[in-house]
Amino acid sequence: MMSRRLVFAAAMIAATIGVSACQTSEKAANTTQSAAQAQMTPTLSTTDATFINAVGKAGIAEVKFGEVAQTQATRTAVRAFGAQMVTDHTAANQELIALAESKQMTPPDNMDLNHQAAHDRLSDISGSEFDRVYIQGQVEDHTAVVAAFQDEITNGSDADVKAFAQKHLEAIQHHLEEARRLAGSF
């Protein structure tokens, strides 16, 4: 029994280190991609391009997570939250795509590797464990996205990208509040 716990603990540590390294590599790749896109699109700063890439990938993930929640969540409130994420993020994603294309920037077309790994994990669990893990992930994701929107509003240079961030910040903050409320019920 003790050796199983040690093996499990070692596996968890190794997985955490692997995910951390993957996150660092992916963030560096996203920044490099954004810098290149910013150079090709003179009206966009690296900050603006990074925002579009990061928020675009996160928005795609929110739609995918919400679709899974609608079928795998056990609580009605969690299924409803998932449906709201699909509705709200689909609309925002479409607007972000149009904005990116108007700036001659290719918008992201899929979620990042970290979100894909989280999606794969969510797809493999069910019941009340799914509800808990999904909602905790929503709190974490929306906390990060709120920070990204606030950073764009403060540090972005393109008026249209900043306006997009300003327009959608309140809805993202509302999603975060609702996810926190749901998380408090577990």
pLDDT at 33 over 70: no
The C-alpha angle with vertex 164 and arms to 86 and 89, in degrees rounded to 5, equals 5
Q: Please, what is the average pLDDT of the chain?
A: 85
Residues 6+ apart with CB under 8 A from 23: 114
CB-CB contact of 168 with 92 (8 Å): yes
Q: What pLDDT does 3 receive?
A: 45
Report residue 2: phi and psi, to 5°. Answer: -65, -40
d(CA 137, CA 81): 13
| SS3 category, 175 | helix
- Third-level CATH fold of 2-183: Ferritin (1.20.1260)
Residue 119 token pair = 């999606």
What are the sequence ranges of the domains in the chain? 2-183
The CA–CA distances, whole Å, from 165 to 119, 148, 185 equal 25, 9, 30
Q: What pLDDT does 111 receive?
A: 94
Closest CA to 153 of 135, 170, 175: 170
The C-alpha angle with vertex 149 and arms to 146 and 150, in degrees rounded to 5, equals 85
Residue 84 token pair = 């709201």
Q: How confident is the model at residue 23 (pLDDT cuts 50, 70, 90)?
A: low
d(CA 139, CA 180): 6
Comparison of pLDDT for 17 and 155, the residue scoring more: 155
Report residue 112: phi and psi, to 5°. Answer: -75, 170
What's this model's pTM, rounded to 2 decimal places? 0.77
Q: What pLDDT does 1 receive?
A: 45
pLDDT in tens, 77-91: 999 999 999 999 999
- Lowest mean pLDDT segment, chosen from 39-53, 99-113, 146-160: 39-53
Residue 158 token pair = 């393109």
